[in-house]
Amino acid sequence: MKKHPHPKVRSHHELSHVMQTMISSEQKANLFIEGKKIKSSLLEFNETCLFLSFPKLYQVKFRNIAATHIKVSFFVEGKIYYSLSKVLGFGKYAGEEAIRLKFPGYLMIDDEYDLADVYTEYRIPLRFTSFDDGQQRKGTMVNFGKRGIDFVAADGGQPVHKSLSLGTDVECHFELRPNQETVCKAKVLYFHEDEGIAGAEFLNYPADEAQEKLVSDWILESRRLQKQNAGHFVLPGSRDAKRIEKLAARAAENEPEDTEKPQEDNRPVLFPGEPKVLILSDSFDRVYQLGRLLKKDFGILKNRGELRDIVNLCKFLKPSMVLIDEQYHVGHGFDMCGRFTKSPRGDLPVMMMGSAKDREAKENRAMREGAAGYLVVDPLNNEQFVNTIRENFELFVGPLTEAKAKAKPKEPPQKKVAVLDFEPVLHEGPKPILICTPNQDLIERCAMTLSAGHGILQTRGIPKKIEALTAEHRPALLLIHEQLDHRDGFETCELLVKAGLQETPMLIVGNQNDLRIKQNKAATCGAVDYLVIDPYDGIMLQQKVTETLALFSTEAPETTDHSPDLTQDYPDTLWREGDSYVLFASENRPLLEKIGAALGDHTGLLFSKGPLGNIEMLAQLHNTTLIVLDETVGSVTGFDIAKRLTSGSLEEIPVVIMGKSNDLVKMKNLAVREGALEYLPYEPFVKDLFLSQIRDVLSMFH
């Protein structure tokens, strides 16, 4: 079987899930220091660092590793994640001796063959016979997939890497359903000795299309049961599986009648009504399930934002009670509860909710964080849940009937918009572009890409507000997101055209799902086109905006050609020769001269002022080990170029962004989100500091 590069996990949400699972499962991480492997417990993590147990003896023995990079690995849900992480220091955390590591910008998955589809949690026993010695041994399955399995030796047995050899054929016996034994032949492809795992590729299984369909159905059923069982594996066809299916069927029968489930969106109101209950959860399925149970008595609000968003929502929509999922923001529900109860809206009664596991400890923590109590919603007892909410509402708010009678009528939408909308002018400039979306992060990201050549206006997307801003500021183009607060972008575009704004070009923007259908809808409602910005591609956005403006303007548009043309670049792009090169891209030539003097003869240097094509060509012509981009490269941002470089043919070359922003946390997070490793400030320029930062990055890869 052909090997694949190890996959990368860059999403901060996924990285946090790995760390939170390590903590909740009490699984130990591996630290690889000076040729030794040290087991260490992950104590806590935040957006910038990890805290792992590290005895005082090790701190003394390995004191020289401070400010260096070490390899750290985590075994989570049948997968081995690893990364290089910088040692930030030693000390104590929560009374325990600890080492502090930098939170990794990404994790690699040690998986070259992509065998696994389902993590079976060591719950399927198997027997395997080696064709080398003919001896049958007992083991347990770790992962199962269409192409093969991962397995370990049974408790007390000899580790698989000692009883088998790479390339050995084995005969495997296991049951995917009770009393239905599968016998197949497989070839050992790899070992993960740290976890005692062997991976084997099936040689004669599935044998035909019918068997392949059975395997596919089994995988889908396993995932469905896993979702119904709080994320834990259940063997299809087993007693536990039948029990779970009965509970799910009973819950479905007890659920109130309702129309078709709506699609998830960013609108705060799930079910209108008074008084209101706000549910905070990352799981829309959970919010919808609980909301349906409560909607007879309450209006239901939802949110998955940060504390500022939640406080603002409470300020304007005035819920009477708040429910917070313990897994909110990847396991930080209790932290959010503590912060919310200390906020200006902390007088609202808060209830924590989650699984029945460690219920007493969770109830105690909920009380410490300022909550009124802890509700078990996994497993969910519909009647008990509704009664508990009613009882707590009457205890902390007052009689439900009086609350309904005192409920104020809804304020006119125009008044809400006047209070809630953004300041209209985000950036002064020519040919302003009006961006219509309630997502302020997206507005700021688009503004960063477009503000070099345009003014930027912003609004949440109410049609009347768009009309007023268009009349006052005369924008050259409208960017309307497909999901707005009160209606979708297509309907809003149609209303604007009917109101007489057909002379102002409009682009609908959104995700790439059902792209052909959305492009047709955009043309039908009067927009010029539909543009994909999720996933975000700043260079594509800039090109589309330029093309659209060119269609509606008599002036020749200013365009940025990203094709390579070294004749338009610096005449001395090869600034210093070397065995390997660091490529710096910036139009700030004095800065590049300072950098060249700072780095001395440590490495070869390439200088470029862009565009993207020149950067790619220079990196391919020379043995480039690092690309450093100025945050502004001509009319394009370094973040947009980083996104292209790290998702294209040069993805193996690390990228760093440098700039002069004072908001380092924001810039570092944006750099990592766009695929870069780091954001380095260069103003004021400190020679030794800049040199050490570049060395730190290079040391991660050499």
Helix axes 687-699, 589-599, angle to 10 degrees: 70
Q: What is the pLDDT of residue 560?
A: 60
Give the range among 200-214, 297-311, 547-561 with minimum mean pLDDT. Answer: 547-561
pLDDT tens sequence across 419-456: 478 889 988 988 899 999 999 889 998 998 898 888 99
Reduced to 3 states (helix: H, G, I; strand: E, B; else coil), residue 40 is strand
Give the range among 43-47, 116-120, 414-418, 554-558 with minimum mean pLDDT. Answer: 414-418
Strand locations in 193-275, DSSP E?
197-202, 269-271
Q: Which residues pair with 681 in a beta bridge?
A: 659
Q: What is the pTM of this model?
A: 0.45
CA distance 189 to 325: 42
Q: How far apart are the first and last CA of the chain?
A: 29
CA distance 507 to 504: 10
Q: What is the pLDDT of residue 300?
A: 94
- 213 pLDDT tier (thresholds 50, 70, 90): very high
| 552 Cα distance to chain centroid | 38
Q: Which residues pair with 532 in a beta bridge?
A: 510
Q: What is the pLDDT of residue 268?
A: 86
Number of H helices, E strands in the chain: 23, 34
Reduced to 3 states (helix: H, G, I; strand: E, B; else coil), residue 632 is strand
Q: What secondary structure letter does DSSP report for 484?
A: -
Handedness of CA 167, 169, 173, 175 (dihedral sign): positive
Q: What secondary structure letter does DSSP report for 566?
A: G
Average pLDDT over residues 488-497: 91
| Cα Rg of the chain, angstroms | 29
Does the pLDDT of residue 282 top 90, yes or no? no
Contact status, residue 14 vs residue 112, Cβ threshold 8 Å: no
Contact status, residue 281 vs residue 301, Cβ threshold 8 Å: no
Residues constituting the chain = 702
Residue written as tokens 């690699």? 108
Does the pLDDT of residue 317 top 90, yes or no? no
Does the pLDDT of residue 233 top 70, yes or no? yes
Helix axes 333-341, 307-317, angle to 10 degrees: 50
Does the pLDDT of residue 417 top 50, yes or no? no
| 160 Cα distance to chain centroid | 35
Average pLDDT over residues 286-295: 91
Residue written as tokens 């947009």? 640
Average pLDDT over residues 544-559: 74
Phi and psi at 86, nearest 5°, equal: -80, 135
Amino acid at 18: V
Q: Which two tokens stand for residue 527?
A: 């927009």
pLDDT tens sequence across 502-545: 788 999 999 988 888 888 888 888 898 999 998 888 888 988 99
Does the pLDDT of residue 258 top 70, yes or no? no
**What is the signed CA dihedral for 597, 603, 608, 609, rounded to 10 degrees?**
-50
Q: How distant, in Å, are the alpha carbons of 180, 191, 532, 572 from that of 167?
A: 28, 11, 45, 52
Reduced to 3 states (helix: H, G, I; strand: E, B; else coil), residue 483 is strand
